[in-house]
Amino acid sequence: MITAPREHWGSRTGFMLAAIGSAVGLGNMWRFSYLAAENGGAAFVLLYLAMTAGVALPVLLAELMLGRGAQQGPLRALVHFGGARWRPLGWLFVGAGFLILSYYGVIAGWTLRYTAEAIWHGFPADAAAHFAQISAGPVAVAWHLGFLALTAGIVAGGIQRGIERASVVLMPLLFAILAGLAVYAATVPGAGTGYAYYLQTDFGELLSLTVLRDAAGQAFFSLSLGMGAMMTYASYLRRDADLPDEAVVIALSDFAVAFVAGLVVFPLLFALGLQQDVGASTIGALFITLPHAFAEMGAAGRAVGLLFFAALLVGALTSAISLLEVVVSSAIDRGWSRPVATLGLGGAVGITGIAAALDTAVLGVMDQIAGNVLLILGGLAIALFVGWSMRDPEAELAAGAGRVHWFFLWRGLLRFVVPAVLAVVLASAIPAALQSLRALFD
Ligand code: PFF
């Protein structure tokens, strides 16, 4: 089918900021620091870095290469290189993007609401009761739909006028806010104990399988891998764009934001002695414990809290944009117009997400299935495809970059290391996800 000529990014910086925007999101600003504190502090940070470099980065580079080469969305990119038998994988990607956005929109809806409330009246004293009130039910549905409307508004603008323009404005804003907050957090009394808790080093923790799974899962989720988001963004690059350096910069920026977010969060919690409130629920902690801290801090807390949630909102928005673009670009490849695809599919995502907006238990299960299973499955398939099945990935990668000296290292990681690690992760994630799914219906 003949469609309009493919859009392209206006500049390399625009692409980079959009890709970093996809990576940096709800996953970085809380999940990472929480996992680090729970799983061995600095030792976990090192393991996470190893996972990022040895497992996630090779897959990121593979996704960028496939997207750039195919000049098509994820539904068609693998078919372009590998033939029709890879088509189901494209559907897995689009399905995962659809599912993730449908509950990500709910959490982002809470974030939008907290940001607005910080402006209107500050943070409530009883943060837990407030969260219980707003996290599920018709109000949560409304904020979820509001957030998705914002997301769809940007995606409808297209690559250059929508996504690139938003990323170029929003991402530097996020970096600036976060850096400012980290400097502020260093000055609060008790900051030292907060850092110590965050980065206390316990290498003993690293020996457990769950820690390995957490580190790998987090690396994938955080870099938006395993569902074609990076592939989609790369499909709007010109064929001769460079890739390996870009992949490294995206991964490093994502890590830097996650790490700095931890430097913001823990001093604030320790300054107020709230660390024991960091309970089992990661999502709840972000929306209960931190607002509690902001409420106790008075006027300064309101300003700091507003900035924190604004940064979180920016992160969520630029990630949600990439999730919607995966679905929309696939429809455009099949002949839909961008406005129709954005409205129709954005609307469908909104409706699906209502289930998560009405019940946080449903949201948790969706997160587990999508994040821990579908993304890892997608990453595994990409590694197997590029590692074993694709014809001459070296030539494809070299387009734009010139000769790639460490090609064998990359291919070797994709062939052996990535599949081995991801298979172990899946073996422990699938039973856990099935169990939560069953619990939901009991
Ligand atoms: N990377 C995002 C985060 O850390 O919040 C989440 C995400 C976005 C996952 C896009 C997957 C994706 F395709």
Chain segment 185-222, per-residue pLDDT in tens: 999 988 999 899 888 888 887 778 788 888 888 999 99
Q: Give per-residue pLDDT as tens, 76-129.
A: 999 999 999 999 999 999 999 999 999 999 999 999 999 999 999 999 989 989
- Whether 269 has a pLDDT exceeding 90, the answer reads no
The ligand 1 atom nearest the CA atom of 23: 1
- Whether 226 has a pLDDT exceeding 80, the answer reads yes
- Whether 284 has a pLDDT exceeding 70, the answer reads no
**Confidence grade of residue 37 (pLDDT, cut at 50, 70, 90):** confident
Residue 279 has a pLDDT of 53
Work out the average pLDDT over 255-276.
86
DSSP letter (8 states) at residue 206: G
**What's the chain's average pLDDT?**
92
Residue 31 has a pLDDT of 80
440 C-alpha vs ligand 1 centroid, how far in Å?
25
Residue 242 has a pLDDT of 86
Range of the domain at 345: 12-441
Residue 405 has a pLDDT of 79
Residue 46 falls inside a structural domain: yes
Residue 286 has a pLDDT of 82
Residue 401 has a pLDDT of 66
126 C-alpha vs ligand 1 centroid, how far in Å?
30
Residue with CA at minimum distance from ligand 1 atom 9: 224
- Whether 438 has a pLDDT exceeding 60, the answer reads yes
Q: Which of 432, 315, 285, 416 is nearest to 373 (CA)?
A: 432
The ligand 1 atom nearest the CA atom of 97: 13
Residue 392: CB partners within 8 Å, gap ≥ 6? none
Residue 13: CB partners within 8 Å, gap ≥ 6? 168
Residue given tokens 């603008």 in the structure block: 157
Residue with CA at minimum distance from ligand 1 atom 13: 224
Residue with CA at minimum distance from ligand 1 atom 11: 224
For residues 416 and 414, give the distance between their C-alpha atoms in angstroms, rounded to a whole number. Answer: 6
Residue 2 falls inside a structural domain: no
299 C-alpha vs ligand 1 centroid, how far in Å?
33
Residue 72 has a pLDDT of 94
The ligand 1 atom nearest the CA atom of 326: 13
Residue 260 has a pLDDT of 95
Residue 3 falls inside a structural domain: no
229 C-alpha vs ligand 1 centroid, how far in Å?
8
* Cβ 77 vs Cβ 70: under 8 Å: yes
* CATH value at residue 179: 1.10.4160
For residues 442 and 433, give the distance between their C-alpha atoms in angstroms, rounded to a whole number. Answer: 15
What is the largest distance, in Å, between two alpha-carbon atoms of the chain?
64
Residue 1 falls inside a structural domain: no
Residue 371 falls inside a structural domain: yes
Top mutation candidate among 28, 99, 100, 283 for ligand 1, by most atoms within 8 Å of CB: 100
Residue 6 falls inside a structural domain: no
Query: What tokens does 31 get?
Result: 């999940």
Residue with CA at minimum distance from ligand 1 atom 7: 224
Q: Give per-residue pLDDT as tens, 47-71.
A: 999 999 999 999 999 999 999 999 9
Residue 308: CB partners within 8 Å, gap ≥ 6? 177, 181, 264, 290, 294
Q: What is the C-alpha radius of gyration for the chain, rounded to an integer number of angstroms? A: 21
273 C-alpha vs ligand 1 centroid, how far in Å?
31
129 C-alpha vs ligand 1 centroid, how far in Å?
29
90 C-alpha vs ligand 1 centroid, how far in Å?
18
For residues 373 and 431, give the distance between their C-alpha atoms in angstroms, rounded to a whole number. Answer: 10
49 C-alpha vs ligand 1 centroid, how far in Å?
17
The ligand 1 atom nearest the CA atom of 28: 4
Pocket of ligand 1 (CB under 6 A): 22-23, 25-28, 100, 221-222, 224, 227, 229, 319, 322-323
Number of domains in the chain: 1
- For 428, counting Cβ atoms within 10 Å of its Cβ (0-12 exposed, 13-18 middle, 19+ buried), the class is middle
Residue 50 falls inside a structural domain: yes
Work out the average pLDDT over 151-160.
98
Query: What tokens does 407 get?
Result: 């090609």
Residue 84 falls inside a structural domain: yes
